[in-house]
Copies of this chain bind each other. A is one copy, B any other.
Amino acid sequence: MASAEFWYEFASTYSYPAALRVGALADERGVSLVWRPFLLGPIFMAQGWRDSPFNIYPAKGRYMWRDLERTCGAMGVPLKRPEPFPQPSLLAARVALALEDPERSDFSRRVFVAEFGQGLPIGERATLSALLEECGVESIPTFERAQGHANKARLKAECARAAEIGIIGAPCLVTADGEVFWGNDRLEQGLDWAAGAGGAA
């Protein structure tokens, strides 16, 4: 079966619609997905950015929020800008990585909906706890695993891997033959590529 990796960052605005769309798009094409949460922070730091480029460049930020509003409007999903933006996403990324599918993708979608659909603070343990319970996952042992040394190191390795394969933003679709497709607007193209040229697992 063809496969592809879905790389996402919980603080990333366009990862929100992408996380809601990618599962069905992959199913339609018979592509199996690996959900790979990571952090953009180290990648931005390497470019000299100590904040989201949408904050550093206000005109870019204004454009992005309006574009996202149109995207969410067309999908019929709510958009509520979280304060502050970007939200601290480290804990959520660790928790997602500590889960296996289908819990990982289920939890991840719920984090995005809480954050960008309802404006909830996803940096807070209480928010994530409630979402874990909704997934039918016990939160206390999950947080323990998420905050353990092994899982922290694993997330660091994921971030290093993202930089290595040329990921410069989120979300990205990465195919088995190493193609990187960046953006919510590249999901279809990336999954078509995975299903057709290369991408065999």
The answer to whether A182 touches B47 (Cβ under 8 A) is no
- With a CB–CB cut-off of 8 A, which chain B residues contact A179? 66, 70
A118 in the interface (beta carbon within 8 A): no
The answer to whether B166 touches A59 (Cβ under 8 A) is yes
Minimum Cβ distance to chain B for residue A166 (Å): 6
Interface size class of A (residues with CB under 8 A): 20 to 34
> Within A66-89, which residues are at the interface with B (CB < 8 Å)?
66-67, 70, 74
Closest 8 CB pairs of A and B: A59-B168, A185-B185, A60-B168, A47-B57, A63-B168, A63-B166, A62-B166, A59-B166
- Using CB atoms and an 8 Å cutoff, list the residues of chain A in contact with chain B: 43, 47, 57, 59-60, 62-63, 66-67, 70, 74, 163, 166, 168, 179-183, 185-186, 189, 193
